[in-house]
Amino acid sequence: MINPHSLVWKFSDIDRTALPLAGGKGANLGELYKLDGIHVPDGFCISTLAFQRILNNTSVIGELLEQLSVLKVTDKEAIHTLSSRIRSTIESAVIPDDIQTSIRQLLAGKEGTAYAVRSSATAEDLPNASFAGQQDTYLNITGEAAILQHISWCWASLFTERAIIYRIQQGFDHRKVHLAVVVQEMVFPEAAGILFTADPVTGDRNISCIDAGYGLGEAMVAGLVNADHYKVRDGQVIEQQIATKQLAIYARQQGGVKEVTLDPALQSKPVLTTAQMLALAAIGSRIAAHFGSPQDIEWCLANETFYIVQSRPVTTLYPVPVVHDEQRHVYVSVGHQQMMTDPLKPLGLSLFQLTTPRPMYAAAGRLFVDIAPNMATTAGREAIINALGQSDPLIKDALHTLVERNFIPLLPEEEQPHGAKEKAQLFPGIPTITEGDPALVDELIARSEASIAELTAQIQTKSGVEVFDFILNDLDQLRTTLFDPRILGVVIAAMNACIWINEKMEQWLGEKGMADTLSQSAPNNVTSEMGLALMDVADVIRPYPEVISYLQQIKNDDFLEGLLPLPGGPASREAVYAFLRKYGMRCIGEIDITRTRWSEKPAALVPMILSNIRNFEPGAAARKFAQGLEEAARKEQELLTRLRDLPDGAEKVGETKRMIDMIRNFVGYREYPKYSKICRYYAYKQALMKEVALLIQAGALGTKEDSYYLTFEELREAVRTQHIDNTMIDQRKAAYQLFEKLTPPRVMTSEGEVIAGKYKRENVPANALVGLAVSSGVVEGRARVILRVEEANIEEGDILVTTFTDPSWTPLFVSIKGLITEVGGLMTHGAVIAREYGLPAVVGVEQATKLIKEGQRIRLNGTNGTVEIL
């Protein structure tokens, strides 16, 4: 154990609990130093308390850090100036005598021994943030005076420009990151490198990746020399890439390092033998098991012994859902189906889990379903790949990759369940609907509205834990509604009719994407109606310049009452309230109950209302809907007329007309079940937040937002006991911030491997981006890359480029010319509304928001699924 009153400790005194005092590198080295069979060169660590004393003894530092704390990444000149002043101040500060004495005592008797002097920051080598390489490392330093000087330089390196900028980007406070310094005996290796105990590219936790070069490893880390690359799995070397190694960096006898040109015989020879590769991978596995997470390890080889000089968590890997078995699992992202790939907070995540009939597994705030049981039977495999692949070809291709690898073997025929085809259906008992009867949809909507009205009235009579028990009972009703065979029958009938029309019209008439035009202005699409309704709100406000001027300046959410004294204000206020009464439960990321609803923050609507006022003339909503009706009717008549002239024309016309009727009467309903679900979620939230307000009033909870970091069951228990673990809430807040930086995979295995699918496409224009064509047509226009809907400043004719859209984005669709998203499928929100509004759209374009730049002119082909940057 360390002595907290001391400022300098030997490695043998340090363990991982010393992170605040020894920094990430120092704490991890102390932990490794005590592991049997792991060789760590001896050394010591100068505490962060010593660094703080240097800062506290130099008053000007505090003033400079205050100036630094308000800077942004773009303030490059100011960062340069402050960086230079802070570093020179620290470098010239005298190390206090007691610290110098402790260091000299540990160096005594080792005259002539060379050391590496390395930084060890408190924000470095954390499980979810890598500050590797942000501070300086000095090699082959000898003599007390030189070591003391380099310790000062290490402290100062916390304020290099690159370290300052990285902390700003990661949201770390410069005043709260402190630096320890590791002083470690040098090893003069024949070879050195890096070992990842999981594949850093695919995430596979069963593969160890080794980079190896001759001489010192720092040259490889800095990218100065080429390295061999080896992969080890299950005690076998599965891949070797032997680099041409022309240079190596070695230590000089008199101190410092030198660059050496390698003998030609060494240049193409493997750095490590097969036995050494396997031994190193085994060492890495021990270290990863000890720390409980994949590690990025710096190693060196001297005299046939591997030495470990650093180990840090691999921070870029997506975590694997935790299950307590040794079976293989295949996890498919729920967020990619729900158009919500942001992390959910614990309350929202747990409620969503309670809503679904199928178990879902959480990882980094996202949900995944395990489809391994489906993949183990012939019928189940076919059903799941077709169901998921119909919506998202990238998921389909990823699953085919797993089939080719036989990752989940099929059960023997005799072990597959009897009636497997029926049991393999994702939603058994769905009726086959063959006629597009609009009365069926009317009945389903009426029943849902009556149920929501009953829920809203009853939940208001509940209090305390009764609220939670009532919600749990009502969730049974919600599940019954969401997975009602008739509802699913309508949705599937519409989807199948669209697929049939697209296939047959291309086959018979050479026309592609005809279902898109036929879907325009379909009835009962509650989401597209919402976009048009906000245009009607703009119509009410447009004649009143005082109201428009007022809205352009609002800064808070109680602005609606401020409308009353203005000419046209009462009518404008009532128009907004009428919109909120029907759609106020919606918001960005609405499947997470903790997200702020429009009714809770109506100011979120104002930019979209002002955009509609600017971009449209009065009555534009009705004209837009009528235009869609007219285009759909004209296309229907055109297709039927052309079909009559074909062989078996009458039969083709009859079948096509039946399919068109199913599209017209059913396709709009696709958006309604989710709307119904979100209505219920909002009723739940209002009731839950009343209980949260009482917890805050009693002093048990700090803020409403704190409750979002409790699960549904934990919040129920808090209401019952009036007690909350606020430390846990703080930890979950910090974890959520880190989850936001991760990108969830579409498909991942239980081994952590991310399976990336590819589009199988031919005749694609050169340099074009490829995605899934979901709404036909070709347009050119200005790209507007928008990541947050509230920051949108859309002008009519822009092409929207974003990660994903949910119903809260719909009001923007009335102004845009086309849509490109990174996530999406044939029947997800953006695709459905794009077809409804007649907008060409391509979804599933990977990295679209990074590859397409704001303002670029682009060509979007929603028929073939390509995007060209012009």
Which residues are catalytically annotated?
829
**What DSSP assignment string belongs to 40-93?**
---EEEE-HHHHHHHHHT-HHHHHHHHHHHT--TT-HHHHHHHHHHHHHHHHHS
Decide: 319 and 68 in contact? Cβ < 8 Å.
no
Decide: 773 and 863 in contact? Cβ < 8 Å.
yes
Task: Give the Cβ contact number of residue 216 at 10 Å.
Answer: 25
Assigned token pair, 92: 């010239």
The CA distance from 748 to 149, in Å, is 49
Decide: 782 and 857 in contact? Cβ < 8 Å.
yes
Decide: 860 and 818 in contact? Cβ < 8 Å.
yes
By CB atoms closer than 10 A (0-12, 13-18, 19+), residue 445 is: middle
DSSP secondary structure letter of residue 175: G
The CA distance from 544 to 541, in Å, is 6
The CA distance from 844 to 45, in Å, is 49
Strand segments, DSSP code E, in 142-283 are 179-185, 191-196, 207-214, 228-233, 236-241, 247-251, 257-261
Decide: 257 and 140 in contact? Cβ < 8 Å.
yes
**What DSSP assignment string belongs to 98-165?**
HHHHHHHHHHTT-TT--EEEEEEETTSSBTTB--TTSS-EEEEE-SHHHHHHHHHHHHHGGGSHHHHH
Residue listed under structure tokens 């890997």? 317
Count Cα atoms within 13 angstroms, Cβ side, for 211.
21
- Sign of the C-alpha dihedral, residues 461, 464, 466, 471? positive
Residue of 175, 171, 220, 178 whose CA lies nearest to 82? 175
Residue 181: φ, ψ to 5°: -130, 130
β-pair type (191-196, 207-214)? antiparallel
Count Cα atoms within 13 angstroms, Cβ side, for 170.
21
CA 520 to each of CA 63, 78, 86, 316, 433: distance values in angstroms, whole numbers, following the listed order: 62, 54, 63, 43, 22
By CB atoms closer than 10 A (0-12, 13-18, 19+), residue 699 is: exposed
Decide: 521 and 529 in contact? Cβ < 8 Å.
no
Cα 867 to chain centroid distance, Å, stands at 23
Q: How many helices (H) and strands (E) does the chain have?
A: 33, 25
The CA distance from 287 to 179, in Å, is 24
Please list the residues that pair with 375 across neighbouring strands.
Answer: none
Decide: 843 and 823 in contact? Cβ < 8 Å.
yes
Q: Enumerate residues 6+ apart whose C-beta is below 8 A from 409.
A: 376
Please list the residues that pair with 858 across neighbouring strands.
Answer: 781, 869
CA torsion angle for 388, 394, 399, 402 (degrees, to 10)? -170
Task: Give the Cβ contact number of residue 135 at 10 Å.
Answer: 25
Q: Quick one: three-class SS letters along 336-381?
A: HHHCCCCCCCHHHHHHHHHHCCCCCEEECCEEEEECHHHHCCHHHH
* 3-class SS of residue 331: strand
